[in-house]
Chains A and B, each alone.
Chain A
Amino acid sequence: MKDTIITVKRKKIEVITLVACFIIACIVNIYAIAKFNTSWSEIFTSLGYVLIFSVALYIAWSIIRLAYYLIKNTFTKKKR
């Protein structure tokens, strides 16, 4: 097993990604409140659902990125 290094750039990307997911989840929540005509207080009271949805989005996006890098890596090795 070898040491791995998480660069500052990588940390920034991940934090920005997570924040982006949270913002998207907030927008979805606002859309849902408007669509189903429920109380605007749900912007705050549904924060739990929003956080869970943010993490789910982040995980889904991470899986897509992982798959992308794996495929990209495979082709790069073949070319070598």
Chain B
Amino acid sequence: MKTRREFLKISGSAGLLLATVPWFSAFSDSKNTMGEKARIGVIGPGSRGQFLMSFLMKNPKVEIVAICDNYQPSINEALKMAPDAKVYQDYRKLLEDKDVDGVVIAVPLNIHHEIAIAAFEAGKHVFCEKAMAMTPADCLHMYDTHKRTGKVFFVGQQRLFCDRYIEAMQMVHSGTFGEIEGIRTYWFRNGDWRRPVPNPELERKINWRLYKEYSRGLMTELACHQLQIGTWALKTIPNKIMGHGAITYWKDGREVYDNVSAIYIFDNGVKMTFESIISNKFYGLEEQILGNKGTIELEKGKYFYETVPPAPGFLQLINDVEHKLFDAIPFAGTSWAPETANENTGDYITGKRPKTDGTSVLLEAYAEAVITGKQPEQIAEEGYYASVLCLLGHQAIEEGVIPDFPDEYKLDYLNHKRATQTVSI
């Protein structure tokens, strides 16, 4: 687990760190909150919820005081982690619990909006798993309710708190890689994305990601993480979206696409692409930032400059002599001179192979914010735009249209200005 102190070592100063990650202001009072606890209720302690709980349990500033689920196996597993937590079947009852300061919402996408709004109205701070909601209108409603109630609002965009992403963005923003000309993201898997179902009646409850009633499929479950990288790197929001999706392989009754592509176009013509196929995993997942002076591959945690220092003159001379001697000989085998010495192998952003994805720091930040009651800068906006962008990508795919970013969903953020202040609260 990387602490804020370690982040400061990387960045050199708090000012420099906050310029790239303003949401780290969550830690500004961390010394004063020693000994205090954020009392958290987890709504939806299924597999993702338990994953989040595993980090929360390690944090001495967190106490999981309640859990809520209507699926008993999930409750049983969650109670193994937090045996003292109160158990609720109905989230409304949990929200009435005065011992709960903030909630972690890790339920299917279609009920994020309903629960988050109820939580804000009940005076609870909210951590909501990504994506925020099923529609941009619901996302905006959640954002506006957060602003109106003044309660802390986090969306589960853990890359915003990951050390290598932060260092990479500092390099991007300082011009290390020149002008950013393109962003490519992809997430390839080879699997049906299904979970075992003990009873056919539970199919939609457990495999909710596969059905349009509950999910927007690959766009909300995977693209949401990666699209946010582009806006972070370019400090601007793309305003035109196009895409296509289809079920090409897993024709097993699912309703969401297993093969999608989307293109997001920024005002200066730079494009960000997202592609996901879940019947081939060869390329895995990656976010690539392409500058005229270099490239970053964030998942691998590496960067590559366009110009590679040449091999030492001595080796070049040996190569030269070797080629003059042996190139004309048809049986010449593998080169004995180290020709690969100038291969572009890149360097690790943090100096070492990546290990974490930022989830632990994200949840530490949420706990700090719950204790202080202060909303960290820009974290809600980043979550909002990540969600709305993936939903607009879904709209482009679903309707076969090329939507511009609708004015009614713009916030006062980066290159966007909010059109009106009339909100549907």
A, B assembled together:
yes
Footprint of B on A, CB under 8 Å?
28-29, 31-38, 42, 45-46, 49-50, 53
B-side contacts of A28, CB under 8 Å: 314, 317
Q: How many residues of B contact A (CB 8 A)?
A: 7
Residue B12 interfacial (CB < 8 Å): no
B312 engages A45 (CB within 8 Å): yes
B317 engages A50 (CB within 8 Å): no
Residue B170 interfacial (CB < 8 Å): no
B-side contacts of A36, CB under 8 Å: 310, 313, 316-317
A33 to B314, CA, bound (A): 7
- In the complex, the chain A residue whose C-beta lies closest to that of B315 is A49
Produce 1/0 per residue, B303-317, CB < 8 A to A: 000000010111111
Q: Across chains A and B, which 5 residue pairs bring their CB atoms closest together, nearest first?
A: A32-B313, A32-B317, A38-B313, A36-B313, A33-B313
A31 to B320, CA, bound (A): 13
A-side contacts of B317, CB under 8 Å: 28, 31-32, 35-36
Footprint of A on B, CB under 8 Å?
310, 312-317
B-side contacts of A49, CB under 8 Å: 312, 314-315
A29 to B313, CA, bound (A): 7
Q: When the two chains form the complex, which single residue of A35, A37, A42 contacts B312, counting CB atoms closer than 8 Å?
A: A42
B-side contacts of A53, CB under 8 Å: 314
- For the complex formed, measure the closest distance between the CB of A66 and the CB atoms of chain B, giving whole angstroms: 23
B-side contacts of A45, CB under 8 Å: 312
Can you sample 20 A-B contacts with CB below 8 Å? A29-B313, A31-B317, A32-B313, A32-B316, A33-B313, A34-B313, A36-B310, A36-B313, A36-B317, A37-B313, A38-B310, A38-B312, A42-B312, A42-B313, A42-B314, A46-B312, A46-B313, A46-B314, A49-B312, A49-B315
A-side contacts of B312, CB under 8 Å: 32, 38, 42, 45-46, 49
B-side contacts of A29, CB under 8 Å: 313-314
- In the complex, the chain B residue whose C-beta lies closest to that of A41 is B312
**Residue with the highest number of chain B CB atoms closer than 10 Å, among A32, A33, A46, A50:** A32
B314 engages A35 (CB within 8 Å): no
- For the complex formed, measure the closest distance between the CB of B338 and the CB atoms of chain A, giving whole angstroms: 9
A37 to B313, CA, bound (A): 7
A45 to B317, CA, bound (A): 16
- For the complex formed, measure the closest distance between the CB of B309 and the CB atoms of chain A, giving whole angstroms: 9
- In the complex, the chain B residue whose C-beta lies closest to that of A25 is B314
B-side contacts of A50, CB under 8 Å: 314
A46 to B315, CA, bound (A): 9
A46 to B341, CA, bound (A): 13
A-side contacts of B315, CB under 8 Å: 49
**Residue with the highest number of chain A CB atoms closer than 10 Å, among B310, B313, B316, B317:** B313
- For the complex formed, measure the closest distance between the CB of B14 and the CB atoms of chain A, giving whole angstroms: 37
**Residue with the highest number of chain B CB atoms closer than 10 Å, among A33, A34, A45:** A33
